[in-house]
Amino acid sequence: ENTQLKDIIAHAKEYGFVYPSSEIYDGLQAVYDYGAYGVELKNNLKRLWWETMTRLNDNIVGIDAAIFMHPTTWKASGHVDSFNDPMIDNKDSKKRYRADVLIEEKAAQYAQNGEKERGQNLLNAMARLLEAEDLSGVRDLIINEGIFCPISGTSNWTEVRQFNLMFSTQVGSVAEDASTIYLRPETAQGIFVNFLNVQKTARMKVPFGIAQIGKAFRNEIVARQFIFRMREFEQMEMQFFVRPGSELDWYKEWADTRMQWHKALGIPEDKLRRHDHEKLAHYANAAMDIEYEFPFGFKEVEGIHSRTDFDLKSHQEYSKKKQQYFDPEINQNYIPYVIETSIGADRLFLMTLCNAFVDEEVEGKQRTYLKFHPAIAPVKAAILPLVKKDGLPEKAKEIVEALKYDFNIIYEEAASIGKRYTRQDLIGTPFCIAVDHQTLEDNTVTIRHRDNTEQERVAIPELHARLSDACSF
Ligand code: ATP
């Protein structure tokens, strides 16, 4: 892993953002826990997504479906039969790899060495083999390309096998009655099976959307790159139901809207790019990713897919329940088409963290801080009495009382003011509010700004409005 990512992982752990899961037992691969500041940041990101979806669009409503679903759901969605990754083991190191990722990495190497076409040909060859389900062909490709295991350095590979990414478990207390159910690998299906419930009870008219935030689980073979690829993660998905034939216009519209959203979060334009899929999943008639330049390269953060009527139609077939909508404007019954926007909350978190991480040298001294947009910063302001006496702590606590109902505030009186500023920089608090002796005389405080460390004098009654302004988009 590259050094910048290593620094970010270490920072996230040391300053209460993200820890490896069950760390005292040496962790659990690809599972992570969020700490005091991490959970605040994540909640802020989720809230922001939720509010832009459901509040700013009067035709989008929310839902919170269960993680467990009837097993037939996953038959209908295609996950039981085809939610697979091709995997391969190295016989010497006993390490398991995703066959397609090994080939993609080789192709990327070619491209890096100026052999772009050769890389592209390799990717095309792989796509053809996977399409034809020719797994031994994929293995031959790996061997012919001289792809070695990075651990053992050999090309002593096993067969390539398809590996289903869904976790399963049993419901029912008695063995005979137990049946296999899955932990949902995506939140979308909870929306599809509730399409008519929501449409009727919230009295929605096509076009309309349903938004959901919730956990999803995938038994990822390659679990790397910190919280980029996890086995338990959170998705934020919105399915937008439209009249057949209008889907590509809506697809374009959502692709633009979502790109704008990322820019509004403060992600620079040159760090974002749009990747249009050439090879489409069986259910899609258009698909793209919004990619961000992570320390390990441009990678998908969000997917926007035109899923046609694949899911609703399939649920209608399997459930034998009509999934049609009567459109009063054109006097017709139809199964709506769907545009979906799908983003991982954890990946969004990682993007935000990578984008905020600043480690720079100022006048010969190293300074590290997290430059979050104030709207998503875990803590909005730290209230700091200059000294622990002369009535300054009491005055500072009055300010905490006045602000804490609307903002996440920290009060801190230990250590020198400089040390306390540094600590707030490290967790990305945009404002430090210092209470000093002058405060007792004129009811003003100093606000110290995180990004440029500049200070200004502000009257206490103005603080609330100042924070409100800064913490909105
Ligand atoms: P990838 O190609 O990276 O595996 P995907 O194309 O399978 O992703 P989708 O099924 O489209 O991803 O899921 C939508 C979003 O959910 C992704 O853009 C990503 O933000 C998030 N996501 C998917 N898998 C994971 C994971 N294992 N860990 C964290 N986030 C994930």
Q: What is the mean pLDDT of the chain?
A: 95
Residue 288, C-beta contacts closer than 8 angstroms, at least 6 positions apart: 255, 274, 275, 276, 277, 303, 304
Alpha helices for 77-134 (secondary structure H): 79-82, 99-112, 116-131
Residue 410 pLDDT class (50, 70, 90 cuts): very high
**Per-residue pLDDT tens digits for 75-112:** 999 999 989 999 999 999 999 999 999 999 999 999 99
| pLDDT at res. 175 | 65
Give, for ligand 1, the residue of 49, 342, 350, 351 to mutate: max count of ligand atoms closer than 8 Å to Cβ.
Answer: 342
235 Cα to the center of ligand 1, angstroms:
8
The answer to whether residues 56 and 50 touch, using CB atoms and an 8 Å cutoff, is no
HEC string of 231-280 equals CEEEEEEEEEEECCCCHHHHHHHHHHHHHHHHHHCCCCHHHEEEEECCCC
- Beta bridge partners, 85, equal 163
Distance CA 336, CA 196 (A): 11
Give, for ligand 1, the residue of 77, 227, 233, 340 to mutate: max count of ligand atoms closer than 8 Å to Cβ.
Answer: 233
Q: Is 207 exposed, middle or buried (0-12, 13-18, 19+ CB in 10 A)?
A: middle
| pLDDT at res. 272 | 98
| pLDDT at res. 386 | 97
Residue 327, C-beta contacts closer than 8 angstroms, at least 6 positions apart: 206, 243, 333, 334
Which protein residues touch ligand 1 with a CB less than 6 Å away? Answer: 186, 218, 220, 229-230, 233, 235, 300-303, 342-344, 346-347
Provide the whole-model pTM: 0.93
| pLDDT at res. 349 | 98
Which DSSP letter does residue 25 get?
A: G
Instruction: Please check the confidence at residue 472 and state whether its pLDDT lies above 60.
Output: yes
Give, for ligand 1, the residue of 299, 347, 348, 351 to mutate: max count of ligand atoms closer than 8 Å to Cβ.
Answer: 347
Q: What's the ipTM?
A: 0.97
| pLDDT at res. 1 | 53
Calculate what percentage of the chain has a pLDDT beyond 70. Answer: 98
**Per-residue pLDDT tens digits for 113-170:** 999 999 999 999 999 999 899 999 999 999 999 999 989 999 999 999 999 999 999 8
| pLDDT at res. 51 | 96
Residue 218 pLDDT class (50, 70, 90 cuts): very high
Helix, strand or coil, per DSSP, at residue 213: strand
Instruction: Please check the confidence at residue 405 and state whether its pLDDT lies above 60.
Output: yes
Q: Tell me the average pLDDT across 279-300.
A: 92
**Per-residue pLDDT tens digits for 170-190:** 887 666 666 889 999 999 999
**Per-residue pLDDT tens digits for 220-239:** 987 778 999 999 999 999 99
For 338-365, give one letter per residue: b (16+ CB within 10 A) or e. Answer: bbbbbbbbbbbbbbbbbbbbeeeeeeee
Output the residue whose Cα is nearest ligand 1's atom 30: 344
| pLDDT at res. 244 | 97
Output the residue whose Cα is nearest ligand 1's atom 29: 229
Distance CA 292, CA 301 (A): 6
